Amino acid sequence: MEESVRWTVRVSKDTDVAVRTFLAQRGMKKGDLAKFIEEAVRWRVFDATVAETKARNAGVPEAEIEAAIDEALATVRAERFGSRRR
């Protein structure tokens, strides 16, 4: 982890027991709770971002989306790998 910050959060006793039991069953220790929470938060943010993007693009034709992806990939590849091919 790069620079970390301390969070203070409250969860129900049931959630606490469920998470700690889950971690213990997989051989994880008390210190792994922070890693578990960070991963869960990252997945939730990613999931919400994907859902919002899908909703925003629901009316866009698939061919238009594919063309935008292809254009973005070509730009990134040119920037990243363009000098290697010379």
Question: pLDDT for 6-64, tens place per residue?
Answer: 999 999 999 999 999 999 999 988 789 999 999 999 999 999 999 999 999 999 999 99
Which string of b and e fits 45-70 if b means at least 16 CB within 10 Å?
Answer: eeeeeeeeeeeeeeeeeeeeeeeeee
pLDDT of res. 67: 97
User: Could you tell me the residue ranges of all domains in the chain?
Assistant: 13-85
Sign of CA dihedral 81, 1, 6, 41: positive
pLDDT of res. 23: 94
pLDDT of res. 1: 57
